[in-house]
Amino acid sequence: MKTSADILERELRRFLATDDDQFIRLFITYSMCEIGLPIGTPLSPVNHHIMMFVIDDFIRQDLMIEVYVRYADDMILFGSKEQLHEAAHRIR
């Protein structure tokens, strides 16, 4: 099972388009705590946003939802009734 650190590392590499292991490890070291992403640190909002790119891609590419709004972890999806029922089922 992937940990929060694994997901953050993968998304940082993709987002920053870098293979600089030293930078990535340093970033993750200062971003994570023993149980995951800490709340309230200066990097927390940035890390959360980077990790939510996975959900953004899933909604756009896999669910084919073209219009949606996300603020932190709250989302509003727009589409047909059938499309939204399918999206709710697959997101769960």
Nearest-angstrom CA–CA distance, 10 and 33: 17
pLDDT digits (tens, 9 = 90+) for 22-81: 988 888 888 877 777 777 788 888 888 888 888 899 999 999 998 999 988 899 999 999
Q: Say what the pLDDT of residue 64 is.
A: 92
For residue 50, count CB atoms less than 10 angstroms from its CB and return exposed for 0-12, middle for 13-18, buried for 19 or more: buried
> Measured between alpha carbons, how far is residue 59 from residues 10, 16, 62, 80 in Å?
18, 21, 6, 14
Q: Say what the pLDDT of residue 79 is.
A: 92
Specify whether the backbone of 16 is left (phi greater than 0), alpha (psi in -120 to 50) or beta: alpha
Does residue 89 carry a pLDDT above 90? yes
Q: Say what the pLDDT of residue 28 is.
A: 82
Nearest-angstrom CA–CA distance, 29 and 77: 34
